């Protein structure tokens, strides 16, 4: 979302606690009923305010969704920038960035439903709300990968564009699986996911040598 399209309307004598309740109610209502099916009256009832009060703080239902996305992503990106700028190896930073992505959504199933399902049901909503802040999150992953290549921690011929999308895509799929399966926690954490990707699928030389030796011994006793 660019240029603060979903910024809250100025309200004389605004009550921050009331605004917080409305946003929390919007997340619950969108997550459980779906964005298109949700009604502002339901959000107002969940928040314990009159329906007209919602319109004092937000222009409409889409504005509410935009503020939910914007403010959530602002917090995530602020933490992500701190991780990218911190000391440590590229692998450690990637683990923390991926864990951040997993944790902020798996902590709230309703919020996860909004991000993983509702925002994607409309190409227009994806275009409006996701572009700039999603791009920044992907850029943080790329910055860490670039640093890892420069330090010699990662292979020099790494396709960073592809690597960023593999990291994001794998994390996104784990969250979607968790959300749809209804399990208590995602299947993998940041360390497990990043470790699997960095180690690759091919057995190391030592492992391959052991397997060949076992195979030779087996043939010798046959």
pLDDT score for 172: 96
Residue 120 above 50 pLDDT? yes
pLDDT score for 3: 39
Output the CA torsion 142→3→103→201 (10° steps): -30
Residue 2 above 70 pLDDT? no
pLDDT score for 191: 96
**197-214 mean pLDDT:** 72
**117-134 mean pLDDT:** 78
Q: Convert the pLDDT of each residue in 57-115 to its tens digit.
A: 999 999 999 899 999 999 999 999 999 999 999 999 999 999 999 999 999 999 999 99
CB-count burial class (<10 Å; 0-12, 13-18, 19+) for 4: exposed
Rounded (10°) angle between helices 109-116 and 61-85: 100
Residue ranges of domains in the chain, CATH in brackets: 62-205 (1.10.357.10)
pLDDT score for 148: 97
The winner for highest mean pLDDT among 5-9, 62-66, 210-214 is 62-66
| Residues 213, 217: Cα–Cα separation, whole Å | 6
Residue 156 above 90 pLDDT? yes
Q: Convert the pLDDT of each residue in 17-72 to its tens digit.
A: 999 999 999 999 999 999 999 999 999 999 999 999 999 999 999 999 989 999 99
pLDDT score for 215: 64
Band of pLDDT at residue 203, cut at 50, 70 and 90: confident
Q: Judge whether 90 and 151 are in contact, CB under 8 Å.
A: yes
Band of pLDDT at residue 4, cut at 50, 70 and 90: very low
**204-217 mean pLDDT:** 63
Residue 211 above 70 pLDDT? no
**152-172 mean pLDDT:** 96
pLDDT score for 92: 97
Q: Judge whether 165 and 35 are in contact, CB under 8 Å.
A: no
């Amino acid at each position: 979302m660019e240029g603060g399209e979903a910024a809250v309307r100025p309200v004389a004598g605004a009550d921050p606690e009331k605004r917080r309740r409305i946003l929390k109610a919007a997340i619950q209502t969108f997550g459980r009923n779906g964005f298109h099916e949700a009604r502002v009256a339901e959000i107002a009832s969940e928040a314990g305010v009159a329906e007209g009060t919602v319109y004092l703080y937000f222009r409409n239902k889409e504005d509410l969704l935009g503020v939910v996305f914007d403010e959530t992503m602002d917090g995530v990106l602020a933490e992500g920038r701190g991780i990218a700028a911190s000391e440590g190896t590229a692998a450690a930073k990637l683990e923390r960035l991926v864990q951040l992505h997993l944790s902020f959504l798996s902590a709230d199933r309703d919020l996860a439903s909004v991000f993983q399902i509702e925002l994607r049901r409309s190409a227009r909503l994806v275009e409006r709300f996701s572009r700039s802040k999603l791009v920044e999150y992907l850029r943080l992953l790329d910055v860490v990968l670039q640093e890892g290549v420069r330090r010699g921690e990662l292979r020099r011929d790494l396709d960073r564009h592809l690597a960023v999308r593999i990291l994001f895509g794998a994390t996104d799929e784990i969250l979607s699986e968790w959300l749809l399966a209804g399990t208590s926690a995602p299947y993998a954490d940041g360390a497990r996911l990043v470790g699997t990707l960095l180690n690759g699928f091919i057995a190391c030389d030592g492992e391959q040598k052991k397997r060949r030796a076992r195979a030779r011994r087996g043939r010798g006793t046959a």
